[in-house]
Amino acid sequence: MNMAILLAHPWFGTWTAAVVAVAIALLAHRLGGLLLLRITRHAPLLHAVVRKARAPSTVVLPLLALQTVWQAAPDELRWIDSVRHLNGLLMIAATTWLVARIIAGCAQGIMDRHPVDVADNMNARRIHTQTRVLARTAMTLVVVMGAAMLLMTFPGARQVGASLLASAGVLGLIAGFAAKPVFSNLIAGLQLALTQPIRLDDVLIIEGEWGRVEEITGTYVVLRIWDERRLIIPLQYFIEKPFQNWTRNNAQIMGSVFFYVDYGMPLAPLRTELERIVRAAPQWDQRFFNLVVADATERTMQLRVLCTAASSGLAWDLRCVVREGLIDFMQREYPQFLPRLRVEGEERRPERFESASSHAIGEPGRLQEGAAK
């Protein structure tokens, strides 16, 4: 009896077709996914896209099959319009997710083809920066378009949109001012991706802080400071304000060391010791080094050492090695010429004391007279 009632239900055929359609869609997804992974294993870009799209496609294919069933169902079925609308909303959301993941897969495939863990990673860092910024911008636009399509499926939302467009005066001006930071950062992100004043892993000096670019998002840049702090900078900052980029064209850099010595310090031994220290240092890139007198004060000479390294990190280490080595050399060989503060007074002449003594001895009566007085 119950089976007869179930078979006679108006929705029985539609639900049966829906279950079969979902099962076929899941089976096709499973087999098609394995086949695509096998076919694209020698194509890194397509392989990355297939891997990223597997999860959302698990939702999109069944919803697409269900939408086909709902559209083929009789219009006389109760709530069929609501079911079609709900399935359409889920389809738009799932498709938006799928497109965003496809973009992410393309970006991942491009970055995988250009690894940054190599000695000369300048071109790879440029490609990584462009890919990440453009991919995030594209995904943001896809999400916005998906949200707009969702709203357009509701008649009320269409009417609200039409009324807003019709009364665009003050509301449009307010919306423009409110959206200015968003669009400013979006445009700044596109400018950064195309002109590339900064790239991932670039060494920057911003607001007096030294650090490396760790992440570039759609709205801000994360700078990893040398002491493991993180400085968050809006994208608009890099368009409007000056900053230092130590790795703009290449990572090679020249480091300087300043120290002070006494005027009596001979420079030839220091230059010889500097050559020995620099040539023995693994951080030196074999390009250049020298030692000159950069300045002279009333008490000391200021010496400047220049030495080159392949990167800013190596330059910092090399500067420390040179500084420690030269100070140690002077402490051992020329401690008398280390900078110090001297106070020199006028020496007393012995003859003055002798003449005074002889004068006192030669005139005893006068001393006695003075004593008597």
Query: Which residues sit opposite 284 in a β-bridge?
Result: 309
Q: What percent of the chain has pLDDT over 70?
A: 77
Contacts of 266 (CB under 8 A, 6+ apart): 334
* Integer Cα distance of 297 and 263 in angstroms: 10
* Integer Cα distance of 264 and 269 in angstroms: 12
What integer is the mean pLDDT of 317-324?
A: 92
Residue 61's domain comprises: 7-113
For residue 280, what pLDDT is reported? 92
Angle at 19 between CA 16 and CA 22, to 5 degrees: 145
- Taking only the tens place, the pLDDT of each residue in 173-187 is 444 554 556 666 667
Most confident of 111-120, 195-204, 325-334: 325-334
Instruction: Indicate the pLDDT class of residue 305, thresholds 50, 70 and 90.
Output: very high
Q: Please give the residue that has the higher pLDDT: either 229 or 363.
A: 229
58 within a domain of the structure (yes/no):
yes
Instruction: Indicate the pLDDT class of residue 370, thresholds 50, 70 and 90.
Output: very low
């609200």: which residue's tokens?
160
* Pairing of the two strands 203-206 and 244-245: antiparallel
Choosing from 86, 113, 140, the residue where a domain stops is 113
267 within a domain of the structure (yes/no):
yes
Sheet containing 284-296: order of strands = 253-261, 301-309, 284-296
- Taking only the tens place, the pLDDT of each residue in 83-110 is 888 888 899 999 999 999 999 999 888 8
CB atoms within 10 A of CB 283: 21
The beta strands (E) that lie in 247-340 are given as 253-261, 284-296, 301-309
For residue 6, what pLDDT is reported? 54
* Integer Cα distance of 56 and 235 in angstroms: 31
Choosing from 66, 89, 113, the residue where a domain stops is 113
Tokens, residue 115 = 């690894």
**pLDDT value at 160 more than 70:** no
361 within a domain of the structure (yes/no):
no
Helix (H, G, I), strand (E, B) or coil at 218: coil
- The pLDDT mean for the chain works out to 78
Helical (H) or strand (E) element with 203: strand 203-206
Contacts of 188 (CB under 8 A, 6+ apart): 234, 235, 236, 238, 239
**pLDDT value at 350 more than 90:** no
98 within a domain of the structure (yes/no):
yes
Choosing from 81, 113, 145, the residue where a domain stops is 113
Helix (H, G, I), strand (E, B) or coil at 193: helix
Instruction: Indicate the pLDDT class of residue 161, thresholds 50, 70 and 90.
Output: very low
Instruction: Indicate the pLDDT class of residue 360, thresholds 50, 70 and 90.
Output: very low
- Number of domains comprising the chain: 2
123 within a domain of the structure (yes/no):
no
**pLDDT value at 144 more than 60:** yes
Query: Which residues sit opposite 256 in a β-bridge?
Result: 306
Give the CATH number of the domain where residue 311 resides.
3.30.70.100
For residue 271, what pLDDT is reported? 92
**pLDDT value at 165 more than 60:** no
130 within a domain of the structure (yes/no):
no
373 within a domain of the structure (yes/no):
no
108 within a domain of the structure (yes/no):
yes
For residue 183, what pLDDT is reported? 61
Contacts of 238 (CB under 8 A, 6+ apart): 188, 192, 197, 198, 221
Q: Is the dihedral of CA 118, 120, 125, 127 positive or negative?
A: negative
Alpha-helix runs per DSSP H in 42-79: 44-72
* Integer Cα distance of 127 and 116 in angstroms: 10
Q: Please give the residue that has the higher pLDDT: either 349 or 286.
A: 286
For residue 169, what pLDDT is reported? 46
Q: Is the dihedral of CA 90, 106, 129, 180 positive or negative?
A: negative
Tokens, residue 78 = 């109760």
Question: What is the residue type of 276?
Answer: R
Tokens, residue 362 = 């030669």
